[in-house]
Amino acid sequence: MTIYADNAGTTKMSRTAIDAMLPFMEEYYGNPSSLHSVGQLVAEKLQKAREEIAACLGCSAQEITFTSGGSEADNQAIISAAKLGEKKGKKHIISTAFEHHAVLHTLEKLKKQGFDIELLPVGPKGTITAEQVKDAIREDTCLVTTMYANNEIGSILPIAEIGRVCHEKGVLFHTDAVQAAGHLKINCKEQNIDMLSLSAHKFHGPKGIGVLYAKKGIVLSNIIEGGAQERGKRGGTENIPAIMGMAAALKEACDHIDENACFVSVLRDMLIEGLKKIPHSALNGDPVNRLPGNVNFCFEGIEGESLLLLLDEKGICASSGSACTSGSLDPSHVLLSIGRPHEIAHGSLRLSLCEYNTEEEVEYMLREIPKAVEYLRNMSPLWKDKVEGRKEFIL
């Protein structure tokens, strides 16, 4: 038995998405830039997919640029806004301490180029307020970029309010919505979003394809130079099968968004209630404003990596933070940003669920995880010191 509970890392493709892709590998293989009929047929389908995606995001098809995924969309959004700002002598960028590395590393690069990067603190619940953004905006601010929902701890940010504050001050607002798209209702216009990134493989679509939405009038800078594809803003022959899979997956997710959120959040809450019973544990992230599928706990006295290996032996695929930080010994910057001490941040477990998970799977996890935590604690000399009173408990 394998229980897949790492949907924030990536998801299984849906049958709908696979079926939407196959004809574009077998039959409609033309290049949409070609003038012959085989190409032009694909160009029409491409336009249709663009319109479908735009409809899911509350924007228009011309505002959609296809990218190789969430990371590229984040890079392009931020670099474009920075270049537009620089032209006007504005080099201040506001973001948060717990962004994805696709955002943080792009900002670090801009810092080396003389931009002033301000990362807002996210507090114990792992969120920011529009008020914080308002207070941080200056005359020379060219961009506010905050994630829509955090990939590790699942907290959802007040995007529409942040967008409103940015618009009042005439500052561009970008959101990394990779964890939100297909899971939470998004409307770029209504939520005052100027730029938005999403990635298909986080909502049962294929890997290696994403979208950058940029409001009409925003001039994008190229990350990939090349042909005239994507209105000249992203060179390279379009990844047609992937675009078709993404459009189908997003439409399917948006058509079922309420029922999926309802079903998945019941499983999430079962897990949270069950895991809370483990002594010296703590839920990470906002208990209320939380992605439907996100469960993230710290267990004192254990190493997250050891727990993952033990759970893998029991057929449970989980994560200790984000897939991007595993492999490094540093604790997650997200857990540190919400104030978890290093020792506690090392003992984290993220379970991210989707509508393919079942109640039986949750019950199984609730039997196995407490046993695994206890087993690891019993092997730990540090835990012994705590139990016998030579060291203080933190949680």
Ligand X SMILES: *Cc1c(COP(=O)(O)O)cnc(C)c1O
Residues of the shown chain interacting with ligand X in the complex, contacts defined by CB under 6 A: 69-71, 74, 100, 102, 147, 151, 176, 178-179, 199, 201-202, 210
CB of 295 to ligand X, least distance (A): 16
Residue with Cβ nearer ligand X (201 or 280)? 201
DSSP assignment of 182-197 equals TTS---TTTTT-SEEE
Residue with tokens 């060219």: 142
Residue with Cβ nearer ligand X (176 or 238)? 176
β-partners of residue 65 are 212
Residue with Cβ nearer ligand X (143 or 310)? 143
- The residue with its CB nearest to ligand X is 70
> In whole angstroms, how large is the CA radius of gyration of the chain?
22
CB of 181 to ligand X, least distance (A): 10
Residue with Cβ nearer ligand X (71 or 320)? 71
CB of 247 to ligand X, least distance (A): 16
Extract the tokens encoding 310.
Answer: 């033990």
β-partners of residue 211 are 66, 198
CB of 22 to ligand X, least distance (A): 22
CB of 313 to ligand X, least distance (A): 26
Extract the tokens encoding 302.
Answer: 């254990």
Residue with Cβ nearer ligand X (208 or 370)? 208
Gap between the Cα atoms of 216 and 64, Å rounded: 10
Extract the tokens encoding 165.
Answer: 């504050």
Active site residue 324: yes
Please tell me the total number of residues recorded for the chain in this structure.
395
Q: Please pick, among 56, 188, 262, 324, the residue that the annotation labels catalytic.
A: 324
CB of 148 to ligand X, least distance (A): 8
Residue with Cβ nearer ligand X (85 or 210)? 210
Runs of H (alpha helix) within the chain: 15-21, 23-26, 37-57, 70-87, 101-112, 130-136, 159-168, 240-255, 257-276, 304-313, 333-337, 342-345, 359-379, 381-387
β-partners of residue 145 are 174
DSSP assignment of 323-390 equals TTTTTSSSPPHHHHHTT--HHHHTTEEEEE--TT--HHHHHHHHHHHHHHHHHHHHH-HHHHHHHTTS
Residue with Cβ nearer ligand X (151 or 319)? 151
Cα 237 to chain centroid distance, Å, stands at 26
Residues 48 and 24 sit within 8 Å (Cβ to Cβ)? no
CB of 10 to ligand X, least distance (A): 8
Residue with tokens 């399917």: 252
Degrees to nearest 5, angle at CA 27 with 24 and 32: 60
CB of 334 to ligand X, least distance (A): 10
Long-range contacts of 275-283 (CB under 8 A, 24+ apart): 275/366, 275/369, 275/370, 277/370, 278/369, 278/370, 278/373, 280/393, 280/394, 280/395, 281/373, 281/395, 282/344, 282/395
Residue with Cβ nearer ligand X (33 or 289)? 289
DSSP letter at 181 equals T
Residue numbers annotated as active site: 324
